[in-house]
Amino acid sequence: MNNHDFILKIEDLSIAFGGLKAVDSLSFEIKEKEIFGLIGPNGAGKTTVFNCITQFYKPDRGKVFFKNKDGQVEDLVGKRPHEIISKGLVRTFQNIELIRELSVIDNVLVGSHIEFKASLLSQLFRLPKARREERDLRKKAEEVLKYMGLYHIKDQLVAGQPYGILKKIELARTLMLNPKLIILDEPAAGLNDTETIELMEIVKEIRERLNTTILLVEHDMKFVNNLCDRICAISFGKLLAIGSPEEIQANEEVQIAYLGKGDE
């Protein structure tokens, strides 16, 4: 396999909280344009892996190689959390992290924060540069909202929107920068069946349209099996198996981790 085939490669990742090894020597790699699922029972360390990739946590050991926007491979470990997005890696959160007091479109615009370049002075006096920048990016945000079917509520506040809509807004926020890799933390949690199916279509379409790779954590196995090209199953921070949805379903260790051992 070509060394540059991957977009994200995790090597020997470990992090412990006190005595608890949340992630233990985990390695896997994600190919470009893949939809990759990370599954595991509750407390398996899935979100911790995400936090280690996006540098919200500093891993004790291991490397997180990422092929950035310029096609160069670099290790993300040691970078500050706010530097990660500029490499082309955006994430969503398990408990939606939107700003309730801002309108839907303003929330989406936060997603392109790093594209704004106008100086403070220019913003204070609304000089042409700041105005132009704001107008252009607002237009882009409107396009993203149209694409997600949220355009009609763009000026409404986020507070009070239904859960399914909030999930969509958060997803829209990740699209503002045409990222190389989108990390979704339980995107289908709390959605009903119709919304889940709709989300599945949206995720697939995003991959095609934006040429992006998607890494997701999800509990809804139907969702994962139908959507993901490959799945990585972990339990207690350790790798159980990597493979296609069929392979994972048939894997004995995965079954034991989820359902426990059969009667002796």
User: By the criterion CB under 8 A, which residues form the site for other proteins?
Assistant: 54, 56, 81-86, 90-91, 93, 97-103, 106, 109-111, 113-114, 116, 118, 120, 123-126, 130, 134, 153, 155-157, 160, 173
Cβ at position 173, least distance to other proteins in Å: 7
Q: Kindly tell me which of 83 and 201 has the beta carbon lying closer to other proteins.
A: 83
Residue 187 makes CB contacts below 8 A (sequence gap 6+) with 92, 167, 171, 199, 203, 216, 218
Give the span between the Cα atoms of 221 and 118, in whole angstroms. Answer: 45
Q: Which of residues 160 and 260 has its CB atom nearest to other proteins in the complex?
A: 160
Instruction: Show the tokens assigned to 227.
Output: 């959507």
CB closer to other proteins out of 81 and 149: 81
Q: Return the number of the residue (178 or 225) whose C-beta is nearest other proteins.
A: 178
Toward other proteins, which CB reaches closer, 54 or 196? 54
Q: CB–CB of 54/89 below 8 Å? A: yes
Q: Are 39 and 224 in contact (CB under 8 A)?
A: yes
Please, what is the minimum distance in Å from the beta carbon of residue 232 to other proteins?
A: 22
CB of 263 to other proteins, least distance (A): 44
CB atoms near residue 252 (< 10 Å): 9
Least separation in angstroms between residue 208's CB and other proteins is 24
Task: For 246, list phi and psi in degrees, rounded to 5.
Answer: -65, -45
Q: In the complex, what is the shortest distance from the CB of residue 125 to other proteins, in angstroms, rounded to a whole number? A: 7
Helices (H), 28-77: 46-53
- Nearest approach in angstroms of CB 153 to other proteins is 8
Specify the residue, 59 or 245, whose C-beta has the smaller distance to other proteins: 59
> Tokens for 65?
């190689």
Do β-strands 35-39 and 230-235 pair in parallel, antiparallel, or remain unpaired? Answer: parallel
Element of type H or E holding 235: strand 230-235
